[in-house]
């Protein structure tokens, strides 16, 4: 019989098989953002995986390091101090274990922040520490530029004019950008048992794209598009990882598919990740770009705005297929 050292700590969190060396995915597409072939490589990766890694992105290591060390300092505070910065709903601030509004749980704590233009929204009182806020703002401004370049490259690779057809949706006044700092503490109670706590359960992101950066602790897994096999993404603290979200799936009429992903916690090491979610303004119509529809080709999806999709998303459970209710019969 297996006796957990401290069973109640994980009793509400679903368990996953611990990843082994064979689960590591060595074929993650790597895009050199400074190379002339970046646009083609991005489109290829989006079609095959809905996921890729970005190197030579131009973001200074110091920007990432400062944001990471300030985030680590925030999460190291006493629980009571952190709880004063939350709860995460409605809808922004500090949250612990609860994800969304419908009962999803993960072995993590996080900061969920609204972004206005290129920094944390003035409406977000959290984080209150100037050092953390400044470090995150410097990071957000930099990662947002990476997201814009990726969206421009997507438009170029797909042959869409104007070049800013996609990036303008995020650059516009009123665009719905969100930033998340996730801290997955180690879960030693499960060490050696072959299973791990779910850090963030499987889901697709509703936005256009998400740009992730983590410390050197792995844990991110993606589901491969042919067959759905879960593979572990080797961590790389110097790179960004980009996910295709549901909205870009619709804009490309399913040519790109949003990638299912999740995070498995480590029994010994904590993982800290930053994710920038590039969303359009609430009134933006999300429908296939006319230039991508072939002769006589119809949209696979019913008409909706980003605001309608977001509202529907918040009624779903994390792992639900949120797009299915918008697929034409």
Q: Which residues bind ligand GA4 (CB under 6 A)?
A: 99-100, 102, 104, 112, 178, 180, 203, 205-206, 277, 313-314, 316-318
- Euclidean distance between CA atoms 181 and 87, whole angstroms: 15
Q: Residue 56: left (phi > 0), alpha (psi -120 to 50), or beta?
A: left
Least distance to ligand GA4, CB of residue 156, Å = 26
Distance CA 95, CA 87 (A): 5
Count Cβ atoms within 10 A of the Cβ of residue 171 and give its class: 0-12 exposed, 13-18 middle, 19 or more buried.
Answer: middle
User: From the CB of 21, what's the least distance to ligand GA4, in Å?
Assistant: 29
Output 95 or 288, the one with its CB closest to ligand GA4.
Answer: 95
Q: Which is nearer to ligand GA4, 18 or 265 (CB)?
A: 265
User: Least distance to ligand GA4 from the beta carbon of 311, Å?
Assistant: 10
For residue 162, count CB atoms less than 10 angstroms from its CB and return exposed for 0-12, middle for 13-18, buried for 19 or more: exposed
Nearer to ligand GA4, 24 or 89 (CB): 89
Nearer to ligand GA4, 82 or 190 (CB): 82
Q: Of the two residues 39 and 108, which places its CB atom closer to ligand GA4 in the complex?
A: 108
User: 193 to each of 19, 97, 165, how far by Cα in Å?
Assistant: 12, 22, 50
CA distance 232 to 190: 19
Shortest reach from residue 324's CB to ligand GA4, in Å = 13
CB of 182 vs ligand GA4, minimal distance in Å: 8
In the bound state with ligand GA4, the residue whose beta carbon lies nearer, of 158 and 262, is: 262
**Smallest distance, ligand GA4 to C-beta of residue 251, A:** 17
Q: Which residue is nearest to ligand GA4 (CB)?
A: 100
- Whole-number minimum distance, CB 6 to ligand GA4, in Å? 26
Q: How far is CA 73 from CA 82, 97, 135, 168, in A?
A: 11, 19, 12, 35
For the beta carbon of residue 81, count every other beta carbon within 10 angstroms. 10
Q: Can you say how many angstroms the Cα of residue 1 is from the centroid of all Cα atoms in its chain?
A: 38
CB 244 within 8 A of CB 234: no
Q: Of how many residues is the chain composed?
A: 329
Nearer to ligand GA4, 111 or 197 (CB): 111
Tokens matching residue 30: 């790597």
Which residue, 16 or 318, is less far from ligand GA4 as judged by CB?
Answer: 318
Residues 6+ apart with CB under 8 A from 324: none
């Amino acid at each position: 019989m297996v006796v957990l050292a401290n069973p109640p700590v994980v009793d509400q969190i679903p368990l996953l098989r611990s990843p082994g060396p064979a689960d590591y995915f060595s074929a993650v597409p790597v895009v050199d953002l400074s190379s002339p072939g970046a646009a083609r490589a991005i489109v290829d990766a989006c079609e095959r995986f809905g996921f890729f890694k970005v190197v030579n992105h131009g973001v200074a290591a110091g920007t990432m390091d400062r944001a990471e060390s300030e985030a680590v300092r925030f999460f190291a505070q006493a629980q009571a101090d952190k709880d004063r910065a939350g709860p995460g709903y409605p809808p922004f601030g500090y949250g612990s274990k609860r994800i969304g509004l419908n009962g999803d749980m993960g072995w993590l704590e996080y900061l969920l922040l609204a972004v206005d233009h290129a920094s944390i929204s003035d409406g977000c009182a959290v984080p209150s520490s100037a050092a953390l806020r400044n470090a995150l703002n410097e990071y957000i401004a930099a990662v947002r530029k990476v997201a814009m370049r990726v969206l421009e490259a997507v438009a170029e690779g797909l042959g869409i004019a104007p070049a800013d057809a996609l990036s303008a949706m995020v650059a516009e006044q009123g665009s719905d950008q969100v930033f998340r700092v996730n801290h997955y503490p180690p879960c030693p109670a499960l060490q050696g048992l072959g299973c791990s706590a779910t850090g963030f359960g499987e889901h697709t992101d509703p936005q256009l794209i998400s740009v992730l950066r983590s410390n050197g602790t792995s844990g991110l897994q993606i589901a491969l598009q042919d067959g759905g096999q879960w593979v572990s993404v080797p961590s790389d603290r110097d790179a960004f990882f980009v996910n295709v979200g549901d909205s870009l799936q619709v804009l490309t009429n399913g040519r790109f598919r949003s990638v299912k992903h999740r995070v498995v916690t480590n029994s010994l090491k904590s993982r800290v990740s930053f994710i920038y979610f590039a969303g359009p303004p609430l009134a933006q119509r999300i429908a296939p770009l006319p230039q991508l529809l072939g002769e006589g080709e119809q949209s696979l999806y019913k008409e909706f705005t980003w605001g309608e999709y977001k509202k529907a998303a918040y009624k779903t459970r994390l792992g639900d297929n949120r797009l299915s209710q918008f697929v034409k019969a």
